[in-house]
Structure 1
């Protein structure tokens, strides 16, 4: 095993440990919420900014940029549709496991009592936009793994999860050897966060 592969394995193990700890904290909060739910809900409502004071206290820059922010809903929805069509057509043709769209979207912040209706809408919009971009990244990562699984010579900031298994730049023999294996690894439907077979 190369040093790169060893570090990648250690990083994956740490990511799994981090996710397990995050899940433990989610369960712990859910338990605390259930125990003192009415008291907690009341404390949340007490700190919620009512709608009119929220709008009157908004910075002019926030009000002026709101149409620009929400104007992105149309291109985002078109991207969503295009990604879904792309993977259903191309991934089926190539034998790649399709990305489960729902795994990338989390809509839960609208249940928080300390957010007013506009803040809840903003949170759901951000959840949609970021979930969609994560969905797009997964589809693009699988597509890149299928067609061009070669690491770049230049540094890549925040590469997608498939990138670590790509063949080193300039390794022609490794590319020819690994390409069929990397393509075969895409045949199953590997959930986000799980490492495909080496």
Structure 2
């Protein structure tokens, strides 16, 4: 990377830290904290949350007909998602140690904390768990694919890439053959990781 790109990357990192600080302020305003990795609300907030919970029977009986009709299609996706999860996890377990690529920690991507929200009924909690799994899994898979690409083909595309993964920023420029060969040589000589 050149100096300007390094400078911009550092600025982005500083902005990310600032964003995380603002999110922490918002959490404090909503009066919850994390204890042993679990969100804990004040009793008064929990009581108010329970008051705002929609009864399950009301929730189901007042669902839009199209929502009810499309629900099986949505929930059927669990089959390919679980298959993807298994396949990618096996791939990483077998291949990453062989290539010396640091493994992706699955638990950092699959987070199921919404079930602790008292204002959600059972079906809403199930829906939240499903969405957490699907989106967390896709992020986990993307990180594994990104690390694989960084190892095998760390070259930027000629066209602008929508939603590039974290490693993409450090890829060599499209058409810079010397930088590519140097990068591949660096990868071959880096120490193996877990």
Give the structure-2-normalised TM-score. 0.88
**Per-residue displacement from partner, 1:18-59 (whole Å, max 9, x unpaired)?**
22433454456325x96x722212211111110111111100
Aligned counterpart, 1:161: 166
Change (3 A) 1:49 1:42: same
Q: Separation in 1 of the partners of 2:23 and 2:92?
A: 30
Gaps of 5+ in 2: 34-38
Contact 1:150–1:167 (CA<8 Å) still a contact in 2? yes
Aligned counterpart, 2:9: 8
- 1:38 corresponds, among 39, 43, 53, to 43
Q: Separation in 1 of the partners of 2:133 and 2:123?
A: 15
Given the alignment of the two structures, is residue 92 of structure 1 paired with residue 97 of structure 2, yes or no?
yes
Aligned counterpart, 1:193: none
Higher alpha-carbon deviation: 77-86 or 40-49: 40-49
Contact 1:167–1:174 (CA<8 Å) still a contact in 2? yes
**Per-residue displacement from partner, 1:98-155 (whole Å, max 9, x unpaired)?**
1111011111111111111000000011001111001000000000000000000101
- 1:137 corresponds, among 142, 150, 162, to 142
Matched residue count: 188
Higher alpha-carbon deviation: 19-28 or 168-177: 19-28
Contact 2:32–2:42 (CA<8 Å) still a contact in 1? no
Aligned counterpart, 1:195: none
Contact 1:96–1:186 (CA<8 Å) still a contact in 2? no
Q: Separation in 1 of the partners of 2:55 and 2:96?
A: 48
Kindly report the root-mean-square deviation, in angstroms, between the aligned alpha carbons of the 2 structures.
2.3
Change (3 A) 1:59 1:153: same
Q: Separation in 2 of the partners of 1:186 and 1:127?
A: 35
Given the alignment of the two structures, is residue 80 of structure 1 paired with residue 90 of structure 2, yes or no?
no
Give the structure-1-normalised TM-score. 0.86
Gaps of 5+ in 1: 190-198
Q: Separation in 1 of the partners of 2:57 and 2:193?
A: 51
Contact 1:145–1:183 (CA<8 Å) still a contact in 2? no
SS at match of 1:40: helix
Given the alignment of the two structures, is residue 58 of structure 1 paired with residue 67 of structure 2, yes or no?
no
Given the alignment of the two structures, is residue 148 of structure 1 paired with residue 150 of structure 2, yes or no?
no
